[in-house]
A and B are shown apart, each in its own frame.
Chain A
Amino acid sequence: MPDTVKRLHTQAVTGQPDSRERARRRIRGLSLPLGFLVVLLLAWQFAPSLLSVPSYILPELSAVLTALTDPDALPRYLYNAGYTLFEAGVGLAIGASAGVVIGILLAEIKVLYNTFYPYIVAIQSIPKVALAPLFVIWFGFGIESKVVVVVLLTFFPVLVNTINGMRSVDPEQIDLFRVNGATVWQTRRKLMLPASLPYIFTGLEIAVVMAMLGAIVAEFVGAQNGLGVLILQAQFQMQTAAVFALLIILSTIGISLNLLVRLVRRKVVFWMPTK
């Protein structure tokens, strides 16, 4: 009871629930999805044998975990995961920076916008991964063709969101800068760019998913290293447990990258409430 009183008191003073209360609420919010995960994992472990599903169709969870932690395979998995991550990272860095820079140029220079925007919209609706075989012909089986596919896939979402951000700046904010005699560059740097940041981050969130997708698909098409190659090898040898183990690694990378972008977003675009 005294504890409750004290907590109520701190709430009244700060106007916010204290950190312990917040943590408790967070745990309560997580309990349902975590419970579902436990049920799912149990089903994965026991359903295959109960329903006599052969292990090459669906290996039970323990077999997948054994494959994942196999001391002979794990270093190879991690090395190739690093390889794929490197391709995705380099491609994302190039694609996203190009998307921001070219997006700003297109939004600011009317002639460029009018000339290229229809094509950008058209290219948006093309499934660009279909170009991966062409890039392997042009740039070979090495890292270059993967990076090019990732650049292509990450460039467009960042580009389109940057353009939208630049074009949706509040006209009254622009008036404010004009009344105060701001130069074009001051308006760009102190208004347009920060105002576009929430949009740019939306583009980045999509681009991160696209980066991993592009790297893996390009590896499927033709490569010597990477998680995509390992998945294909495991498939050829009907090692379904190994395929699942690789998918777990891939998912972990994908989720971590998404969390990383969201964390950076919350730090950079701190004034926007997160969904």
Chain B
Amino acid sequence: MTRETMPAGSSAQAASAPRIDIRGLDKTFDTKSGQVHALSDVNLSIEDGEFVAIVGPSGCGKTTLLRILAGLETATDGQIVLSSSREAQVGMVFQRSVLLPWRTVLDNVLLPIELSHKPSAADRQSAVELLALVGLQDFVKKYPNELSGGMQQRVAICRALIHDPEVLLMDEPFGALDAMSRDALNLETNRIWRETGKTALLITHSIPEAVFLSQRVIVMGPRPGRVLDIIEIPFGTDRRLELLSTPEFAQLTGRIRKYFEKEEQADA
């Protein structure tokens, strides 16, 4: 498999080329109980600045797909092209905040910078600005264990954005939070996406979360992990909580839910 970086602007097509282009992606894991076909012939392109959500039951390979994009796994077959003009390609938000407890909030946010060079005053300034963007300006000098779960995940989002990546990958980032914090963070994610213009890929098992945040929902199914459908979400970019109670919203979530009901019947 190839995971390559195409320098943007190096060819005539680059300007119109998608930010992420996945072609014929295949992944099998060798486990003690035999081979597991995690991903089968996944094709997907994501445009620059687009917000795409992937939903699917556990075992549909959605996390594997994200980990391949992040460079944490290698695909068995297929091709991924990330067109990027710079080194810093992806920022990642994990299921848990994974903050380092011995570092202050500010130093946690600066970690990705520190791993490439000594943080400058400007880097510090942008970390503080990012923290202010998520309402944590008063917690810059605190340690992670002084923060609530929702606040910790906000810090993790800032950390994923500090090196100004072109793609933001999120792996069920709010799954561990209570419903109230989840709503609040969904609103903030929408706002951050609008303000930064990042290309965003969100993995979630919450259908409403996927519909609320994204412009396209990729529905995946298990055994083997594959794309079942791609659904366009026609609500503008500025999303409000009121959207959750509109009939259009209910209709879209219902349409996606049907896929999983079928899966369950197939299982039974």
Contacts and interface: CB of A to CB of B under 8 A. Distances in A.
Interface of A: 170, 172-173, 175-183, 186, 190-191, 194, 197, 270-272
A197 B111 CA distance: 19
Contact of A173 (B72, B100, B116, B143): B100
Contacts of B115: 177, 180-183, 186, 190
Contacts of A197: 102
B101 interface: yes
B98 A173 contact: yes
B229 to A, nearest CB: 29
A191 B71 CA distance: 19
A179 B145 contact: no
Contacts of B144: 271
Interface of B: 70-72, 90, 92, 94-96, 98, 100-102, 111-112, 114-116, 143-145, 163
Contacts of A181: 115-116
Contact of B72 (A175, A182, A183, A191): A175
Given A172-B94, A175-B94, A271-B145, A180 B112 contact: yes
17 contacts: A172-B95, A173-B100, A175-B72, A175-B98, A176-B92, A176-B94, A176-B98, A176-B111, A179-B71, A179-B90, A180-B111, A180-B112, A180-B115, A183-B115, A190-B114, A190-B115, A271-B143
Contacts of A173: 98, 100
Nearest to B96: A172
Contact of A179 (B70, B95, B102, B116): B70
Contact of A178 (B72, B102, B114, B145): B72
A179 B111 CA distance: 12
A190 B102 CA distance: 10
Contacts of B111: 176, 180, 190
A179 B98 contact: no
Nearest to A176: B98
Given A172-B95, A271-B102, 9 more contacts: A172-B96, A176-B111, A179-B92, A180-B115, A180-B163, A190-B100, A190-B115, A191-B100, A271-B144
Contacts of A178: 71-72
B72 A179 contact: yes
A8 to B, nearest CB: 23
Contacts of B71: 178-179
Nearest to A269: B102
B101 A271 contact: yes
A180 B112 CA distance: 6
A202 B236 CA distance: 55
A170 B98 contact: yes
